């Protein structure tokens, strides 16, 4: 019987969880509870915080105890990639897994929904046209690798990855060129007026900092997006607005959309993202 069948029949409450370290700040339990309420799914969703190096132990325990699915956040996405018995193509491209699912034959399947969440938020919710756009992505870490395949699949006219260390960005080219042409450069070589959309995928904003970006180059029609989110505008949003960007958005919509894709993969039901996003924005604002 499928997970959805067990849940809707009310015979048991299917179990899911998010795993990370730290994990107390995770919004996933609230988001998935809202999805479950909206779609009338009966499930429990918890959280776990294993010590680094003990992810596999926690995952084995959870699935052996009847768990059906798991979201994975830092620093365990590479551990989840190695733990999975089989991977979706987008997880293979990402080189990391943020969602695990118990299959009907007992295998653990690994997926990465981050890129789906980003592209959904940009194109569906915000209405930004990706096809034919000149897109700049800042950073070359795991967060960026997780979104390049769906961005390239949207057929931009140009996709450039800029990073402080050029070699790290160059390592992405042979991985993603089969999907679409990818160019790379150092931050110091950037000319921002060449781009229609700029996506910040660096972790600098978590400390309230910015990557080293030039001033006075942003076109008035440029659209800026930060993959992180906070209750107040991020440092990248503040910079983009000061530089005259047409729009400057944070990554809360990406977070909710990638969670919705995990929920769909687990439950076979597509939740409505908009009311949950509205709730989460208010939750961030008020803490309630």
Count CB-CB contacts under 10 A for residue 214.
13
Q: Is 26 annotated as a binding residue?
A: yes
Q: Which residues contact 59 (CB under 8 A, 6 or more apart)?
A: 19, 70, 80, 83, 100, 108
Q: DSSP letters along 25-88, please?
A: T--HHHHHHHHHHHHT--EEEEEE-PPTT-HHHHHHHHHHTT--EEEE-TT-HHHHHHH-SEE-
Confirm or deny that 20 is annotated as ligand binding.
no
Alpha-carbon torsion 171, 172, 173, 179, what sign? positive
| 168 is annotated as contributing to ligand binding | yes
Please indicate if the annotation marks 132 as binding a ligand. no
Q: Binding residue per annotation — 229?
A: yes
Residue 251 labeled ligand binder = yes
The response to whether 163 counts as a known ligand-binding position is yes
Token pair for 205 = 């904003």
123 carries a ligand binding annotation: no
Tell me the longest C-alpha to C-alpha distance in the chain: 61
Q: Running DSSP on this structure, what letter comes out for residue 269?
A: -
Closest to 274 (Cα-Cα) out of 118, 126, 129, 147: 126
Structure-token match 């140009």, residue found: 158
List strand residue ranges (DSSP E) for the chain, in order: 14-19, 43-48, 69-72, 86-87, 99-102, 108-111, 134-138, 158-163, 183-186, 197-200, 223-226, 247-249
Is 215 part of any known ligand binding site?
Answer: no
Q: Which residues are catalytic?
A: 77
124 marked as binding residue: no
Ligand-binding annotation for 98, yes or no, is yes
Annotated binding residue 258: yes
164 is known to lie in a ligand binding site: yes
Residue numbers in the known binding site for NADP(+) are 139-143, 163-168, 227, 251
Binding residues: 26-28, 73, 98, 114, 139-143, 163-168, 227, 229, 251, 258
Extract the annotated binding site for shikimate: 26-28, 73, 98, 114, 229, 258
């Amino acid at each position: 019987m499928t997970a959805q069948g067990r849940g809707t029949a009310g015979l048991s409450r299917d179990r899911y969880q998010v795993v990370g370290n730290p994990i107390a700040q995770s919004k996933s339990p609230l988001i998935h509870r809202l999805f479950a309420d909206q779609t009338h799914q009966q499930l429990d969703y918890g959280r776990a915080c294993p010590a680094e190096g003990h992810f596999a132990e926690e995952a084995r325990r959870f699935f052996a105890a009847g768990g059906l699915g798991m979201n994975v956040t830092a620093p365990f996405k590479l551990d989840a990639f190695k733990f999975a018995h089989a991977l979706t193509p987008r997880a293979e491209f990402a080189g990391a897994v943020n969602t695990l699912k118990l299959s009907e034959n007992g295998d653990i399947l690994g997926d990465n929904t981050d890129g789906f969440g980003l592209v959904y938020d940009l194109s569906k919710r915000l209405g930004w046209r990706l096809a034919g756009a000149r897109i700049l992505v800042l950073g070359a870490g795991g967060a960026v690798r997780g979104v390049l395949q769906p961005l390239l699949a949207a057929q931009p006219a140009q996709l450039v990855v800029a990073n402080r260390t050029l070699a790290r960005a160059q390592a992405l080219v042979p991985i993603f060129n089969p999907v679409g042409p990818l160019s790379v450069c150092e931050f110091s070589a950037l000319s921002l007026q060449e781009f229609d959309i700029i996506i910040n995928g660096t972790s600098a904003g978590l400390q309230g900092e910015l990557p080293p970006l030039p001033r006075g180059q942003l076109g008035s029609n440029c659209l800026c997006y930060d993959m992180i989110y906070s209750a107040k505008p991020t440092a990248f949003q503040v910079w983009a607005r000061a530089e005259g960007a047409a729009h400057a958005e944070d990554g809360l919509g990406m977070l909710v959309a990638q969670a919705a894709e995990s929920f769909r993969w687990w439950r076979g039901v597509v939740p409505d993202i908009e009311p949950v996003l509205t709730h989460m924005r208010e939750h961030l604002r008020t803490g309630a």
